[in-house]
Amino acid sequence: MATATLVEHYSKDQVEDDDHWSCFCPKSGIFRSPHRLASRHHPPSDPDLDAASFILSLLPSAHSPRPAFLDSVTGRCVTFSDLHRSVLSLASTLRLALDLRPGDVVLLLSPNSVIYPAIVLAVLASGAVLSPASPLCTPSEIARQARDSGAVLAIATPEEAHKLVSAGVPTLLTHRSPEDRDGPPSVEEMMECSDPLAAPPPARGKSDVAAVLYSSGTTGAPKGVVLTHGNLIAMVSLLRWSAEVSGAEDDVYLAFIPMYHVYGLAFFALGLPSLGATTVVMSRFDLEAAMEAVARHGVTNIPAVPPVVVAMAKSSKRWDLSGLRRVGTGAAALGAEAARRFRRRYPWAELREGYGLTESGGAATFAVVASRRAEGRGVGQLLPGFEARVVAPATGKEEGPGGVGELWLRGPTVMREYLGDEAATAAELVGGEWLRTGDLVYFDEEGFLFIVDRIKEHIKHNGYQVWRANLMGSIVRETAVADLRNQLQVTPSELEALLLTHPHILDAAVVPLEDEEAGQVPMAYLVRSTESQLTSEEVIQFVASQVAPHKKIRRVAFISSIPRSPAGKILRKELIANANQAVLPKL
């Protein structure tokens, strides 16, 4: 698939007058973004432009003392001057001392840190391909990613390096551990010592591979998502546009979203440095520490995920968040009640929802204006350069506004392919360009996107398909619901969204539990507040009083936390495996 530019996606029939621009073309069945990218945000058209060169050209002066990254605990500061030097120095060392060649893959295994963005940019500047990995992965999972991606070098923290032993990949440590004073130079030392002018960077262009990210694997094995330099350049351009139109250019950001995930990578390692923004970095998320960091460091903008928004809204603790201006949420579902509760608790802070996935480079829609309407406005409108189709699963028919179907996306950040998997690529990229998201959605007449459900996640109970419909901060219009009922026989289950309306339930996940009589029954995994004595029977009665009989929760388990991906998506396969293996008493 040739990577399209932000400008190429505008249709020739788009008129100049925004007042006459329609988001949907009945003839083609395509929804288009109502937003345009101003010329100042258009990246250079040079096909030989690489992502690192583009981002470095946007940074503040190489001599700027402005803080780029601050450690939330230690206060360690990386200025933009430090960032320039570190990127160029490490890139030179990777090329010259370690003989890293264009296209070689470097696996990065580290939690968030103030030097993580410099490592990312240095790998790209060296001409290598970045493959970030989660520290939550096991040694066998890390070995699989190293093998699948073809990594020739790894960079890891001393605490995580042991996971790479079985992978057999040469490994650099990000920094020296206190007991290791005589080992080889660390990455931090390489950032300080090498000559950044020793050799020019190898030529890489927009069509070349820049990164291989692994999907969360919530329902299957993770696959390598191939993103090009053109994809990354488009991601940065869109983030710069969104910051400007939402008035967030001068914000101070809090980074607890993992930078190895596409959400964190796009925001913190690539996009925010290009804005000249200051980012306060947390190595791991802790609600109380995060809220204290907001007050201590003057944080005004928190890119978050739904569980964090829910926790902020439901916490009994009080923090001084008067300086907070914006909270963004995406990557997973946020229920309407959770959004309303957050807005009641923090009326001065804008709550903005967006939508994207790893395969779309983390981008697709964005709420340009924070809605104050009770039902919200879904997850925003398509970003500039994006197009969408809504395809009815049963018929393959393209739906117009209000019609429910699978979301197909085309845009400048959509992946090139799944690494080494032609069959999966062909199945997910229709015609080599339309990404099938697997999400059931609809658009309203103004081009706002509403997520209804995941197509593959349903519970079959006595012949009914009990679909798990968390409405992501929206109320589906009655006609859309009626159409969906006709299509699926039954439309249950706002079960998770319903459970989260209970004042003592902090988090919830609903999965199918195998049952001899019914085939499958809904089971709920719940996190209850610490002071709560909520019982399983009370939960079952709470749901039963508000849903049809076939949607009732039949089993309940209380756990300390819901397993989620870094983006906040529920890891259902873990819960399903546990549910069907455990011996649970009937309730």
pLDDT (0 to 100) of residue 220? 60
The DSSP output letter for 42 is P
Pairing of strands 30-32, 387-391: antiparallel
What does residue 528 show for φ and ψ, rounded to 5 degrees? Answer: -105, 160
HSE-CB of 320 using CA atoms within 13 angstroms: 5
Report residue 332's pLDDT band, with 50, 70 and 90 as the boundaries. Answer: low
Q: Which amino acid is at 170?
A: P
For residue 27, what are its two tokens?
């003839």
Strand, coil or helix: 581? helix
Question: In which band, very low, low, confident or very high, does the pLDDT at 17 lie, cut at 50, 70 and 90?
Answer: very low
Residue 11 has pLDDT above 50, yes or no: no
**Which of 310, 390, 347, 301 shows the shortest CA–CA distance to 568?**
310
Angle between helices 51-58 and 116-125 in degrees, nearest 10: 130
- DSSP category for residue 63: T
Mean pLDDT across the chain: 84
How many CB atoms are located within 10 Å of the residue 475 CB? 14
Amino acid at 477: R
How many residues are recorded in the chain?
A: 587
| pLDDT tens digits along 149-177 | 999 999 999 999 999 999 999 999 999 87
Residue-wise DSSP of 330-350:
-SS---HHHHHHHHHH-TTSE
Helix (H, G, I), strand (E, B) or coil at 310: helix
pLDDT at residue 195, as a whole number:
66
Q: Which residues contact 520 (CB under 8 A, 6 or more apart)?
A: 459, 460, 461, 512, 513, 514
Residue 296, CA distances (Å) to 27, 254, 342, 575 in order:
54, 11, 22, 38
Q: Residue holding tokens 């026989």?
A: 489
Instruction: Read off the tokens for 550.
Output: 């076939």
- Range with the lowest mean pLDDT among 73-87, 266-280, 461-475, 510-524? 461-475
pLDDT of residue 394: 85
- Residues 6 or more apart in contact with residue 551 via CB below 8 angstroms: 466, 490, 492, 493, 495, 522, 543
Task: Read off the amino acid at residue 421.
Answer: D
Q: Helix (H, G, I), strand (E, B), or coil: what is residue 352?
A: strand
517-538 mean pLDDT: 84
Distance from C-alpha of 326 to C-alpha of 198, rounded to nearest angstrom: 43
Mean per-residue pLDDT, 129-139:
93
Of 37 and 427, the one with more pLDDT: 427
Backbone angles phi and psi of 437, in degrees to 5 = -85, -25
CA distance 528 to 506: 5
Q: What are phi and psi of 311, to 5 degrees?
A: -65, -40
SS (H, E, C) 358-385: HHHCCCCEECCCCCCCCCEEEECEECCC
Contacts of 174 (CB under 8 A, 6+ apart): 110, 113, 115, 119, 155, 156, 157, 158, 186, 187, 188
Give 55-106 pLDDT, tens digit per residue.
999 999 888 999 999 999 999 999 999 999 999 999 999 998 898 999 999 9
Element (H, E) at 387: strand 387-391
Class of domain 25-443: alpha beta
| Amino acid type, 263 | Y
By the 10 Å C-beta count (0-12 exposed, 13-18 middle, 19+ buried), 368 is classed as middle
Q: How confident is the model at residue 279 (pLDDT cuts 50, 70, 90)?
A: very high
403 within 8 A of 208, measured Cβ to Cβ: no
Find, among 348, 365, 368, 367, the residue nearest to 356 by Cα: 365
Q: Residue 44 gets which letter from DSSP?
A: P
pLDDT value, residue 133: 95
Q: Taking every pair of C-alpha atoms in the chain, what is the biggest distance, in angstroms? A: 72
Per-residue pLDDT, 517 = 55
* Buried-exposed string 144-181: b where 16+ CB fall within 10 A, e elsewhere: bbbebbbbbbbbbbbebbebbeebebebbbbebeeeee
pLDDT of residue 577: 75
22-31, 370-379, 487-496: range with highest mean pLDDT? 22-31
Q: How confident is the model at residue 470 (pLDDT cuts 50, 70, 90)?
A: very low
How far apart are alpha carbons 306 and 329 in whole angstroms? 6
Residue spans in the chain of domains classed CATH 3.40.50.12780: 25-443
Q: Which helix (H) or strand (E) holds 149?
A: helix 139-149
> What confidence tier does 8 reach under pLDDT thresholds 50, 70, 90?
very low
pLDDT band at 12 (very low <50, low <70, confident <90, very high): very low
**Helix (H) and strand (E) counts for the chain?**
16, 29
C-alpha–C-alpha distance, residues 363 and 234, integer Å = 10
CATH 3.30.300.30 positions along the chain are 457-467+477-581
3-state secondary structure 455-516: CCCEEEECCEEEEECCCCCCCCCHHHHHHHHHHHCCCCECHHHHHCCCCCEEEEEEEEEEEC
Q: In this predicted structure, which of 5-19, 22-36, 522-536 has the lowest mean pLDDT?
A: 5-19
pLDDT of residue 516: 55
* CATH entry 3.30.300.30 includes domain 457-467+477-581: yes
Distance from C-alpha of 497 to C-alpha of 500, rounded to nearest angstrom: 5
Taking only the tens place, the pLDDT of each residue in 387-440 is 999 999 889 999 999 999 999 999 999 999 999 999 999 999 999 999 999 988
Q: Cα separation of 6 and 413, whole Å?
A: 9
Written as six digits, the tokens of 166 are 């079985």
pLDDT over 70 at 479, yes or no: no
φ, ψ of residue 90 in degrees (nearest 5): -65, -40
SS3 29: coil
Q: Kindly provide the residue ranges of all beta strands, DSSP E only, lying in 159-219, ordered along the sequence.
A: 171-173, 209-214
Phi-psi group of 432: left, alpha or beta (phi > 0 → left; psi -120 to 50 → alpha; rest → beta) = left
Range in 199-208, 241-250, 455-464, 528-537 the model is least confident about: 455-464
Tokens standing for 186? 């660390």
Angle between helices 306-314 and 287-297 (to 10 degrees): 80
Give every CB contact of residue 482 below 8 A, 6+ residues apart in sequence: none
